[in-house]
């Protein structure tokens, strides 16, 4: 089982308490709800809670944002060992805004699925004419009407860096390869804008100074990476810079808003 193995973590952010529970996860990050499957043993639950807690702390640190960024202002629900899909280790469900990890979840899935949640959450904040099921990355590619804002401009720069070449006039190499793989598989999956951006975000997280392979893994040496389905070289650097600028700006804005809220309530 995946949770019986050891996971690699290198982070300056260490827990002050020896063990944590999913109640601690919910309390710190303000998830809308957390549900645990009935077939999850106490040992499995406690092991998963610690891994998930550390992964979210590392994600928050990499993104330079407060806890409310992780839970998307308390709108995101989490399920462990329940509500999954056959053969799928982790997934995000837009209809219920729920992130789910399978009981025997494989490592490295959290960053990818969390970005799906963020991508979905941002759609109606970045664009004025999108439906509830659409992701911001898809809306951008479909030329939806943007809501003018400096932070949105930085988000759009991320999408452009992922899906277009440096000139901004042609598809990126990652997009071209993704489309070729989809064509060979007779499906549309890897070239889907939400999937491309989630994989690019994985690469950004894995390239951070913090390392946590329960949070992210596989963007450099996996079969998908060898095919070119993750960004490489100068393209990867350009994407990383775009994400770094976006999250630094977003984090400053969220922290400033929190400070104002505290001052108002105080």
- Asked whether residue 85 carries a pLDDT value surpassing 80, the answer given is no
User: What CA–CA distances, in Å, run from 202 to 37, 58, 114, 220, 226?
Assistant: 27, 13, 10, 10, 15
- HEC string of 39-70 equals CCCHHHHHHHHHHHHHHHHHHHHHHCCCHHHH
Listed by start position, the domains of the chain span 12-265
Between CA 87 and CA 94 the distance in angstroms is 19
pLDDT bin (cut points 50, 70, 90) of residue 16 is confident
Q: What are the pLDDT digits (tens) for 126-172?
A: 999 998 889 999 999 999 999 999 999 999 999 999 999 999 999 99
Q: What is the pLDDT of residues 70-84, one digit of tens each?
A: 999 999 999 998 755
What digits encode the pLDDT tens for the residues 204-243? 999 999 999 999 999 999 999 999 999 999 999 999 999 9
């Amino acid at each position: 089982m995946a949770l019986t193995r050891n996971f690699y973590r290198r982070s300056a952010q260490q827990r002050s308490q020896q063990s944590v529970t999913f109640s601690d996860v919910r309390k710190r990050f303000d998830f809308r709800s957390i549900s645990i499957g009935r077939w999850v043993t106490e040992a499995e639950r406690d092991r998963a809670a610690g891994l998930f807690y550390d992964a979210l702390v590392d994600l928050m640190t990499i993104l330079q944002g407060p806890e409310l960024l992780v839970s998307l202002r308390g709108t995101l629900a989490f399920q462990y060992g329940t509500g999954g899909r056959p053969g799928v280790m982790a997934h995000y469900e837009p209809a219920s805004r729920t992130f789910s990890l399978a009981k025997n979840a494989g490592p490295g899935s959290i960053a990818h699925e969390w970005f799906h949640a963020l991508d979905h959450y941002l759609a109606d904040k970045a664009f004025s004419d999108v439906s509830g099921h659409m992701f911001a990355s898809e809306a951008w590619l479909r030329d939806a009407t943007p809501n003018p804002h400096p932070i949105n401009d930085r988000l759009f720069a991320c999408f452009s860096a992922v899906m277009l070449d440096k000139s901004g006039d042609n598809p990126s190499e990652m997009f071209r390869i993704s489309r070729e793989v989809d064509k060979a598989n007779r499906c549309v999956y890897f070239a889907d804008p939400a999937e491309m951006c989630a994989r690019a975000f994985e690469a950004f997280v894995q390239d951070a100074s913090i390392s946590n392979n329960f949070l992210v893994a596989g963007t450099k040496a996996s079969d998908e990476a060898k095919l070119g389905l993750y960004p490489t070289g100068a393209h990867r650097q350009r994407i990383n810079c775009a994400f770094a600028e976006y999250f630094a700006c977003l984090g400053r804005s969220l922290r400033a808003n929190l400070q104002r809220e505290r001052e108002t309530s105080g």
